[in-house]
């Protein structure tokens, strides 16, 4: 496995691989890799001849009051994890390499990016679409794997791919969970033991809603009320939103859901740690 830090070198190698007919799979990450990322890399390896994992803590997707400088960085361990998971190339550029001095071009999706995460993190998806478009242009992948845990990110990227005529197949991998149900996330490492126990209510609330749907309850207000009620019982957990939205457009569903078409998304603060999760209903 090789590690590349230069855009030019990555582009040249990708062109060479493509000309030899290799199928390139990209797994974009911000590092601090966990088992969830490993499952994305393994999925990419099943479908591609060459797997590129990008490791880049993207400054443009963090808001001014967010945790960019505190975001966990563990390049050496990440590179080892990529190799063990079957990656062929780690692309780990510096911020200057991706955003040289004077950089001023951004990619903005204007609808799907607006609700949910877009309300409390207004510039977040602008950063995500910009860096993912750049990675697509640098790595020229045939397929790129993203986790279902970031359901809105998946919807925004699929829309960008369609709108900008990228020829990348967006592959969505299921959310990997700890044994107790907590969705795997690089931010989980900030949780104390007590906070971690409190955070389990997110998955319980989602499962409760899924159970209600399985039992025939399709009224959006009933499903949201039950999830909200569960979360409200936890002192350290403050709800940012609980919403049931269309899986493709991320528009809020009113009245009754059509099972199989929607996703319930939850974002909370557990003290100062922001966590998100979702469940397909």
Residue ranges in contact with ligand PAF by CB under 6 A: 28-30, 58, 61, 128, 131-132, 150, 153
Distance CA 209, CA 271 (A): 24
Residue 73 CB, nearest distance to ligand PAF (Å)?
13
Q: Terminal CA-to-CA distance of the chain, rounded, Å?
A: 40
Is the CB of 13 or the CB of 128 nearer to ligand PAF?
A: 128
What is the C-alpha separation between 122 and 119, in angstroms, rounded? 6
**Residue 265: beta bridge partners?**
243, 278
- Cβ nearer to ligand PAF, comparing 32 with 223: 32
Min dist CB 211 to ligand PAF, Å, is 29
Phi, psi of 30 (to 5 degrees): -110, 20
Host H or E run for residue 246 = strand 237-246
Could you give the residue ranges of the DSSP H alpha helices within 48-101?
75-85, 95-98
Helices (DSSP H) in 48-184: which residue ranges? 75-85, 95-98, 117-120, 124-139, 151-163
Identify which of residues 144 and 245 has a Cβ nearer to ligand PAF in the complex. Answer: 144
37, 124, 203, 234: the active-site residue? 37
Smaller CB separation from ligand PAF, 29 or 242: 29
Give me the least distance between CB of 232 and ligand PAF, in Å please.
29
Of residues 161, 103, 104, 100, the one with CA closest to residue 133:
161
Instruction: Please state the closest distance from residue 179 (CB atom) to ligand PAF, in A.
Output: 23
Of 10 and 128, nearer to ligand PAF (C-beta) is 128
Q: Which residues contact residue 11 at a Cβ distance below 8 angstroms, ignoring those fewer than 6 apart?
A: 138, 140
The yes-or-no answer on residue 203 being catalytic is no
For the chain, count helices (H), then strands (E): 9, 9
Min CB(55)–ligand PAF separation in Å: 9
Q: Which positions are catalytic?
A: 37
């Amino acid at each position: 496995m090789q590690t590349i830090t230069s855009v030019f070198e990555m582009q040249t190698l990708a062109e060479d691989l493509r000309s030899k007919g290799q199928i390139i799979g990209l797994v974009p990450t911000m590092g601090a890799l966990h088992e969830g990322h490993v499952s994305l890399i393994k999925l990419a390896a099943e479908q591609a001849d060459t797997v590129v994992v990008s490791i880049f803590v993207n400054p443009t997707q963090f808001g001014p009051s967010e945790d960019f400088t505190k975001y966990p960085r563990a390049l050496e361990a990440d590179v080892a994890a990529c190799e063990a998971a079957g990656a062929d190339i780690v692309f780990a550029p510096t911020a200057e390499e991706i955003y040289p001095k004077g950089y001023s071009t951004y990619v903005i999706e204007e609808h799907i990016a607006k609700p949910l995460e877009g309300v409390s993190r207004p510039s977040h998806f602008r950063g995500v679409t910009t860096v993912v478009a750049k990675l697509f242009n640098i790595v020229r992948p045939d397929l790129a794997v993203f986790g279902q845990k970031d359901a809105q990110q998946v919807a925004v990227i699929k829309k960008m791919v369609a709108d900008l005529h990228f020829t990348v197949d967006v592959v969505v991998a299921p959310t990997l969970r700890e044994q107790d149900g907590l969705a795997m996330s690089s931010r989980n490492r900030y949780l104390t033991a007590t906070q971690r126990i409190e955070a389990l209510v997110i998955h319980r609330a989602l499962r409760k809603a899924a159970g209600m749907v399985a039992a025939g309850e399709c009224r959006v207000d009933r499903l949201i009320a039950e999830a909200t009620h569960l979360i409200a019982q936890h002192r350290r957990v403050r709800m940012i939103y609980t919403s049931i939205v269309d899986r493709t457009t991320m528009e809020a569903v009113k009245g009754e859901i059509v099972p199989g078409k929607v996703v319930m998304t939850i974002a909370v603060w557990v003290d100062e740690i922001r966590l998100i999760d979702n469940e397909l209903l």
